[in-house]
Structure 1
């Protein structure tokens, strides 16, 4: 049997990082269901301490997710989950963002303007890429 999966990224500010990655990839942040959240609080299954307001919307503090605009059939969901400690060492896994026919340099410039940090340029044979860090320091590569 084949299994499905989601990719989970630890974050000190998951909603802001989900916004950043959704914009970077052209994906969508999953909407929050405020009525559902309030219903769980009223029923005693959650508390106000489990929530916060992000961009005017009540959300779970624990995390935020993004998905490809064509749905989970196209690409796995990415969940950004809250952890109290910041990133301190190099990631053991990272995203390789492939631009297809779009100019990778234009994407790199846009991501840097939106808070990414340039780490280095790489190449191996005909392959070239730029390694960046997102606003929380998670590495990513951009290539064709």
Structure 2
């Protein structure tokens, strides 16, 4: 059997706060909570979730891997505002301003993008 993706793992300085931020952003829920890890996902049987693991040091450099989030085109600006209200901030990683995505950072500084919706290909 080939390998498959199980979890994305995010290091967190404030484990419960960061896990709950991402659960709110994604409309997911906390699936398990232990002293040294919190897992969130859309449901218990989901093939992939996000696992938060504690670290003592704060984030220092730009992510080598980031999440791209999408929503309906008509909802994009409202979703960005909702995510900002949850504790995200706008981030500058060298974008020109002409991009089709918006770069944000979570409360611990992990960058992620809200991108335009995928186009549906016909035929």
For the aligned pair, the TM-score class normalised by the smaller chain equals: 0.7 to 0.9
Tell me how many residue pairs correspond in the alignment: 111
Structure 1 residues 67 and 122, CA gap change in structure 2 (3 angstroms): farther
Distance in 1 between residues matched to 2:80 and 2:114, nearest whole Å: 7
The answer for unaligned runs of 5 or more in structure 1 is 33-59
Structure 1: 4+ residue segments shifted above 2 A: none
* 3-state SS of paired residue (1:103): helix
TM-score where L is the length of structure 1: 0.70
TM-score by length of 2: 0.81
Selected match of 2:42 from 51, 68, 77: 68
The Cα shift of 1:102 comes to 5.5
Query: Over aligned residues, Cα RMSD in angstroms?
Result: 1.8
Aligned partner of 1:15 in structure 2 is: 16
CA, structure 1 residues 61+104, in 2 after alignment: closer, same or farther (shift >3 Å)?
same
C-alpha deviations, 1:62-116, integer Å up to 9, x for none? 121111237323xx11101001001000000000001145511111101111111
Q: Quick check: which has more Rg, 1 or 2? A: 1
Pair 1:72–1:13, CA change in 2 (3 A): same
- C-alpha separation between the residues in 2 aligned to 1:83 and 1:104? 32
CA-to-partner distance for each residue in 1:2-32, whole Å, 9 max, x for gaps? Answer: 2122110101111111100000011111144
1:131 has 2:107 as partner: no
Q: Pick closer, same or farther for the CA change 1:122–1:142 going to 2, 3 Å.
A: farther
1:122/1:131 contact within 8 Å kept: no
Stretches of structure 2 that go unaligned for 5 or more consecutive residues are 118-123
